[in-house]
Amino acid sequence: MLRANQISFRYPQEGHGLSPVSLNVEPGKITLVTGPSGCGKSTLARCLMGLIPHLYHGEISGEVWLNGYRTDEVPMWQLAEKAGMVFQNPAAQMLAPTVEDEIIFGLENLGLAHDEITSRLETALKDFHLAHMRHRNPQTLSGGEQQRLALAAILARQPEALILDEPLSMLDTTAATELIAYLQKFAASGKALVMFEHRHEYLDNLPELHHIALSGKERETDFPSANLSARESFKLNIDQLHVQLAKRDIIQNLDLEINSGQIVAIVGRNGVGKTTLLRSLAGLQKHGGSVKVNTAHGDETPNFGIAFQNPDLQMFNASVRDEMLYRLPNPDLNYFRWLISALGLERYENTPPLLLSEGEKKRVALGLVLMRQPAHGLLLDEPSLGQDQLHKTILIRLLRTLADAGQLVVMTTHDLTLASHADRLILLGPGGEVIADGLSDAVLNDSSAWQKSGILLPDWFLRGRTESR
Amino acid sequence: MRVSQAGRSRQLALVEDSPLRHADPRTKLFLSLAVSLVVMTSIERLLIFLAVYVLFLLWARLMIPTLEHIWRLKWVLILLFLFDWWMINLDHAILICLRLILLTGVFALFFSTTNTRELGLALEKLRVPYRYAFSLSLAFQSLGLLDDEWRAIREAQSSRGALPNVSSFWKFITNVGDLISLTVPAIVLTTKRAWAITEASYARGFDSPHRVSYHSLSFTRLDFLLMTGTIILLILLFWR
Amino acid sequence: MKQRYFSTFQLILLALFSALVIVAKIALRTPLQMSGHSGIFWMAIIIVGARVVPKLGASSIIGVTSGLLASFLGLGDFGALNTFLSYAMVGISSDLMLWILHGNTDNAVIAVIVGIFGHLGKFLTKWLFGIITGAPIGFVALGLLRAFLSYVIFGALGGLLGWLTLQALKRAGFFAYLAEKR
């Protein structure tokens, strides 16, 4: 049904693409393709869908067969009748003003009769539990709802094959588990399904899983030893923090005391105010109550560096080096050398940040914040997004080094593996309230708290914890 | 004002209970263009037209938005009126103010009673290729998102000290080059979004020659009446 | 892929640049309250758009689309017609200037000239609107000369910012990224 034969692709710019690979996606099974960052997973996904070569310039060799069509010989719209593709970023693939228009868009392109479109629309809305939000703007939905809508819009077209490019990477555990259930149903109906994913742990135990691991050029890098000067200890004091956005209370009277020299993970479902809390700590958000740092010399205004979720917000320089050193009056070049090596970015020092992968750019964004050496530490918004296992390990080591030097590291995350490496875990409930707060291990074992938070602890995670004990 | 707020107020400004909501956008466009022509007539005829136009606005439930619009122009109107009265004469001052009121408010007939989906359909009916109508509708939908992104860029750059100081005219001129810390990320993010949409739309069969339109526009009796009435009025006003 | 004058990606890109013009107009207000000051971001986006989609008509599409967006949002005090024509004229005059100069906005001088004349397109519309309503005297009284100078200055600055943005984009590898896309 979907077959690639020694397919390879090289983009016009040197240095990246896909090395020859063959692959056969069997109907009725989920085919999982994994591999380190930069190994060409997204490129292969686009080759299978036909987006390469139809929408991309570059050198292609080998062939892809989709339902009897050779993908480079038939127009894209014809391939799209046989296969559908769901992309990594749920918000970026929304293209209609309402949920129902999002589904109708693909059905109109099939040239179906009015009644048939109505019938498929209603079925999709029902099957994917979207009927109650049919008139809403897709951009106002949560990430999980958007990914569900993207899937509904594709499946309403009744394709024979489905290709998914890291569909779980931006979802919390509950939304990711829900999505897997839909995908299992699709594969069980005898259709072909291929999924490219870093977070393969969600699929590892599925029956009928066909796992293909692509090899990459990534090498294990040694984490350089650090020589960071120790900071004086302090306490971050959050007193009656209150934030209102668009007349809605996002954070209500939050009290927290956090000691320096530790990693703190803030976990909660999408929209509970995790990012708002970080922004309040960074001084970027108007709020009620107070946020202060208590030191031996008295109270200070917090001075944290903040690494944002989207690294593209900050990149505009010609090289990683220029980006990290931008407007620093007297940069500490020894620290810079250590940092760029600790972030695994040494070989990209002179590369324009724009040409790096999302994961690499996130590390550059982290680097430029750390180069400013904020007095009290670091705030990170979903730092593991787009990072493969190796770079997640590097990230954890780096954060640990900072915490050991007396800095405070606060991160929001829906990556439970990353959260389990924190010293302290704060679990937020649906209304932004603290449901559990304590040592990571203790909070992760508190199953009633997780139930209250609406976050599902997936089987693979619980199994992993039991085994590690 | 935030663009998303502007978008929301725009939604509020869509006068849902206006009978013109049921008219075809092409009819409304014709009405607006016809009224724009009328402003070139003499003051006597313009006053007669104004009486008819007020009745029409009352019927279309557009009187309040029109008055709000005139209120926004109050200072310009007062200044123009006094200036032209002083420099020329009272008739001329009245004529100029009436023309300004009509010309500046007339396209509200169209924009206050048409949503973006209807605009897209109307453009298709007017033989504008679907790809253009589609990209126009994307532009509307992206306003809120791009607004959020621009704000996020500002915030992210200010948090790393990369936001230029443009607090005075001189600082603005001398620091203009530093504004690239805002424009470059904005262009990059916008381009990436455009590409993501392009891929997503092609993955859902965009550009298929078999495409049909689920929603449709059709001329009703109301459109016929409005068109005929407008043509008759135009003939009467411009007759000799 | 069918070969067309503008590819679908280019059309979508131009449409989103139009939305960016509106965002820049509303959200990125500088503390300066001079007539035409928002033209700096506005013209910069048009200058970049004309280079990113290097075809005659690209600026006009940005102008017309942003005009429609602005009219729907109710921007401008002189009504939808005036708003639409002002925005559209910025794009059309920029295209006209690029056509006359036979160049592209990669050249700093051309970028600044296009910035000035593009922005003056908006000024011209306002002036013509005054003539049509029969109010040139009042318009003069409202500071025609001051407005003209302001439009020239901010148009030129917009052209310059657009050119600087293009150079930064070039150094940052943006055009290599763009070269992959059809």
Model confidence at B223, pLDDT cuts 50, 70, 90, reads: very high
A56 has a chain C CB within 8 A of its CB:
yes
Cβ–Cβ under 8 Å, residues A301 and A292:
yes
> What would the pLDDT profile of B53-99 be if each residue is shown by its tens digit?
999 999 999 888 888 878 888 888 888 888 888 878 888 888 888 88
Cα distance between residue A3 and residue A415, in whole Å: 33
pLDDT at residue number B34: 87
Q: Report the half-sphere exposure of B156 (CA within 13 A, side-chain side).
A: 25
Interface of C with B in 85-124 (CB under 8 A): none
> What would the pLDDT profile of A78-103 be if each residue is shown by its tens digit?
999 999 999 988 888 999 989 999 99
Model confidence at A26, pLDDT cuts 50, 70, 90, reads: confident
Residues of C in contact with A58 (CB under 8 A): 180
Residues near A364 by Cβ (< 8 Å), separated by ≥ 6? Answer: A311, A315, A320, A323, A324, A343, A345, A348, A353, A356
How large is the ipTM?
Answer: 0.90
User: What is the arithmetic mean of pLDDT over A299-326?
Assistant: 91
Does A433 have pLDDT greater than 60? yes
Task: Name the residue facing C171 among A12, A55, A352 (closest C-beta).
Answer: A352
Which residue is associated with the tokens 């509307």?
Answer: B140
- C16/B6 touch (CB, cutoff 8 Å), yes or no: no
Cα distance between residue C174 and residue A316, in whole Å: 10
pLDDT at residue number B12: 36
pLDDT at residue number B176: 80
Provide the 3-class DSSP secondary structure of residue A422: coil
> What would the pLDDT profile of A235-283 be if each residue is shown by its tens digit?
999 999 999 887 788 888 889 999 999 999 999 987 788 989 999 999 9
> What would the pLDDT profile of C40-76 be if each residue is shown by its tens digit?
888 999 999 999 999 999 999 999 999 999 888 878 7
Dihedral angle of Cα C5, C6, C8, C10, to the nearest 10 degrees: 160
Model confidence at C96, pLDDT cuts 50, 70, 90, reads: very high
C12 has a chain B CB within 8 A of its CB:
yes
Tell me the residue type at C58.
A
**Sign (positive/negative) of CA torsion A15, A19, A24, A30?**
negative
Cα distance between residue A18 and residue A33, in whole Å: 13
**Sign (positive/negative) of CA torsion C150, C155, C156, C157?**
positive
> What would the pLDDT profile of A446-455 be if each residue is shown by its tens digit?
989 998 988 8
A120 has a chain B CB within 8 A of its CB:
no
Interface of A with B in 152-211 (CB under 8 A): 153-154, 157
Does B19 have pLDDT greater than 80? yes
Does A220 have pLDDT greater than 60? no
- A77/B117 touch (CB, cutoff 8 Å), yes or no: no
A390 has a chain B CB within 8 A of its CB:
no
pLDDT at residue number A17: 81
Higher pLDDT, residue A432 or B223 = B223
User: What is the arithmetic mean of pLDDT over A302-327?
Assistant: 91
Model confidence at B11, pLDDT cuts 50, 70, 90, reads: very low
- A55/C1 touch (CB, cutoff 8 Å), yes or no: yes
> What would the pLDDT profile of A100-158 be if each residue is shown by its tens digit?
999 999 999 999 999 999 999 999 999 999 999 999 989 888 888 898 999 999 999 99
Q: Report the chain C residue with the minimal C-alpha distance to residue B174.
A: C157
C31 has a chain B CB within 8 A of its CB:
yes
- To the nearest whole angstrom, how far is the Cα of B117 from the nearest Cα of chain C? 12
Q: Report the chain A residue with the minimal C-alpha distance to residue B154.
A: A313
Interface of B with C in 46-75 (CB under 8 A): 69, 72-73
User: What is the arithmetic mean of pLDDT over B112-135?
Assistant: 88
- To the nearest whole angstrom, how far is the Cα of A104 from the nearest Cα of chain C? 20
Interface of B with C in 174-233 (CB under 8 A): 176-177, 179-180, 182-184, 186-188, 190-191, 193-195, 197-198, 201-202, 206-207
Task: Give which of C23, C51, C166, C181 to mutate to test B binding, by max B Cβ within 10 Å.
Answer: C23
- A318/C172 touch (CB, cutoff 8 Å), yes or no: yes
User: What is the arithmetic mean of pLDDT over A319-342?
Assistant: 91
pLDDT at residue number B1: 47
**CB-neighbour burial class of residue C171 (10 A; exposed 0-12, middle 13-18, buried 19+):** middle
- B198/C19 touch (CB, cutoff 8 Å), yes or no: no
Report the predicted TM-score, pTM, of the whole model to 2 decimal places: 0.88
**Structural domain spans, chain C:** 8-170
User: What is the arithmetic mean of pLDDT over A176-193?
Assistant: 89
Does B7 have pLDDT greater than 60? no
From the list B51, B34, B57, B58, the residue with the least C-alpha distance to B98 is: B51
Higher pLDDT, residue A3 or B2 = A3
Does C141 have pLDDT greater than 60? no
Which of the following CATH numbers is that of domain C8-170: 1.10.1760, 1.10.287, 2.60.120, 1.10.1610?
A: 1.10.1760
Sheet holding A288-295, edge to edge: A248-259, A235-245, A288-295, A298-300
pLDDT at residue number A291: 93
- To the nearest whole angstrom, how far is the Cα of C8 from the nearest Cα of chain A? 10
> What would the pLDDT profile of B146-194 be if each residue is shown by its tens digit?
888 888 898 888 888 877 777 677 777 777 888 899 999 999 999 999 9
Interface of B with C in 5-44 (CB under 8 A): 6-7, 9-10, 13, 32, 36, 39
Interface of A with C in 5-34 (CB under 8 A): 11-13
Residues of C in contact with A93 (CB under 8 A): none
> What would the pLDDT profile of A62-71 be if each residue is shown by its tens digit?
999 998 899 9
> What would the pLDDT profile of A387-400 be if each residue is shown by its tens digit?
778 888 888 999 99
